């Protein structure tokens, strides 16, 4: 799955998530958009099976080029699940 995190200073983070931005992101293969923020930084997380993070410039433009965006691309991704208790012990 393609994943891209945009980090934008919160004071410059005007993220227009209207129908035009959503349509443009969908054309780029984005299927999920999340926002996270604290008092200093807003993170815009884009992901999708057909999304190519190498095309981050197009995604940033679709969002209206929000401020001085830093981009982070994934280094590792894994799934974690609870292991069934089979009566054994952990080392």
Contact indicator for 35, 5 with CB cutoff of 8 Å: no
Report yes or no on 77 lying in a domain: no
Q: What is the pLDDT of residues 67-89, one digit of tens each?
A: 678 888 788 888 888 766 666 56
Report yes or no on 79 lying in a domain: no
Report yes or no on 38 lying in a domain: yes
Report yes or no on 39 lying in a domain: yes
Report yes or no on 89 lying in a domain: no
Q: What is the pLDDT of residues 15-31, one digit of tens each?
A: 667 889 899 999 999 99
Q: What is the pTM of this model?
A: 0.76
Report yes or no on 86 lying in a domain: no
* Alpha carbons 76 and 1: distance in angstroms, whole number: 12
HSE-up of residue 7 (Cα within 13 Å, Cβ side): 8
Contact indicator for 38, 80 with CB cutoff of 8 Å: no
* Alpha carbons 2 and 73: distance in angstroms, whole number: 9
- What does the pLDDT read at residue 27? 93
User: Domain count of the chain?
Assistant: 1
Residue 53 banded pLDDT, cuts 50, 70, 90 = confident
CATH number of the domain encompassing residue 63: 3.30.70
Contact indicator for 6, 43 with CB cutoff of 8 Å: yes
């Amino acid at each position: 799955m393609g994943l891209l995190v945009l980090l934008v200073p919160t004071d410059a983070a005007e993220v227009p998530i209207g129908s035009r931005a959503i349509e443009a992101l969908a054309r780029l293969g984005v299927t999920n958009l999340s926002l996270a923020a604290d008092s200093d930084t807003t993170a815009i997380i884009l992901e999708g099976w057909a999304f190519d993070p190498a095309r981050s410039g197009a995604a940033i433009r679709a969002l209206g080029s929000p401020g001085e965006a830093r981009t982070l691309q994934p280094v590792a991704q894994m799934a974690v699940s609870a292991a069934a208790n089979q009566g054994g012990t952990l080392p």
